[in-house]
Amino acid sequence: MQSKRRILLIIGGGIAAYKCLDLIRRLRERGFSVRAIMTKAAEQFVTPLAVGAISNERVFTELFNLDDEREIGHIRLARDCDLIVVAPATADLLAKMAHGQANDLATSVLLATDKRVLAAPAMNPRMWLNPATQRNVAQLKADGISFIGPAVGEMAERGEAGPGRLAEVPVLIDAIERRLAPRDTAAMPLAGRHVLITSGPTHEPIDPVRYLANRSSGKQGFALAAAARSLGANVTLIAGPVALPDPAGVTVVRIETAAEMLDAVTQALPADVAIFAAAVADWRIAKPKSEKLKKSAGSEPPALKLAENPDILKTIGHRSKDRPRLVVGFAAETENVVANAQKKLKSKAADWIVANDVSPETGIMGGDRNTVHIVTRDGVEHWSDMHKTDVAEKLMVRVAIHLGQQSADIA
């Protein structure tokens, strides 16, 4: 029931904090209960008395409160809600969240919660665009924190404009309601579909302690898995060695080598869609050493004979039995990006190729952003630079539309 929807609102210390009074009022009109935590800085802009009067709830400000902490109050606050909303999420608060600090009540609750968190940034445009803030936001997105805003416009400071305004209250309410709406999985665009995704690098052993690898972080593939799951798909993610947590609701198979990845892909078939985002090593050591290679003074470096690894995309693209209806490959190129992707589309028998420039100056390999080109038999789509989570969401929506059109044609 709507009356049971519980919001924990964490109010950060920015001029936009005054908007939280209207936010609380409107949420209560829609049947939400709202409890608030205020940071010390927030109390410089709005008072706990005003927040408490509008929420009709006690306002929490202190971590070391004897009465509250007798019952481990910060843990109770972290769990006794359906959604945590951080608004305004200042640059300072985002930095503390990204680095796992817990030096006040707000950050302690955020570190202790197992609930979803929605952050609404608000700060000066230069603070928002600062690389440090963007790194923190990227980390929080990777950790599963969702964001709304910031909006673009005039700031409180005279002559300042740009991205940094707190999202307007109706926009915030819409974002909150969407995150708490019952999920009708049967109505989701990828419901009943099996999406197979590969991600990360592979490690090809040289000896028991060394291996051949590349700089892939796996972030794009993991973002794709999360996006596919959010659209209702059953997702199998086959991941090389990466330091990323398993996406919620996704079947994850961890592998090391290209041969292991191919075997895992084959075992996971049939699938409606296969997306090969992994940066699979092209070669392996033909005969890995069973003991650690040693060096000795005056000796020549050991000769390492390479053997070609299986081409997973090509193997599945040319597969006659249980080939996925849509086979999507990724092409990480350092030159002639689109032309090389078009060649790969044909030689690998893929349906789409997602091409990107990973030359060193782009900073894409292992980074948080991507600029991709979608190459199909019908042409090329050039997408603007965006965060990898946004690339994933946009690509999976395109996949869902494609499959829907295929089903309509068959019918």
| 132-136 contacts at long range (C-beta below 8 A, 24 or more positions apart) | 132/95, 133/91, 133/94, 133/95, 134/368, 135/98, 135/368, 136/94, 136/95, 136/97, 136/98, 136/99
Q: Is 214 a catalytic residue?
A: yes
Enumerate residues 6+ apart whose C-beta is below 8 A from 27: 7, 34, 173, 176
Identify the residue whose tokens are 């092209």. 282
Residue 140: phi and psi, rounded to 5, are -65, -40
Q: Partners of 197 in the beta sheet?
A: 237, 275
CA atoms within 13 A on the CB side of 264: 23
Query: Which of 269, 277, 206 is CA-nearest to residue 244?
Result: 277
Residue-level length of the chain: 411
User: Position 210: which residue type?
Assistant: R
Query: Which of 123, 128, 120, 119 is CA-nearest to residue 157?
Result: 123
Residue 11: phi and psi, rounded to 5, are -100, 115
CA gyration radius, the chain: 25
Catalytic residue among 124, 130, 214, 340: 214
Show the tokens assigned to 292: 């650690």
Write b or e for each residue in 238-264: b if 16 or more Cβ atoms lie within 10 A of its Cβ, otherwise e. Answer: bbbbbebeebeebbbbebbbbebbbbb
Q: Strand 6-11 and strand 83-89: pairing?
A: parallel
> Which contiguous run of DSSP H or E holds residue 175?
helix 169-180
CB 47 within 8 A of CB 22: no
DSSP character at residue 231: T
CA distance 320 to 332: 26
Show the tokens assigned to 171: 């926009």
Peptide bond into 302 cis (omega under 30): no
**What residues are annotated to the active site?**
214
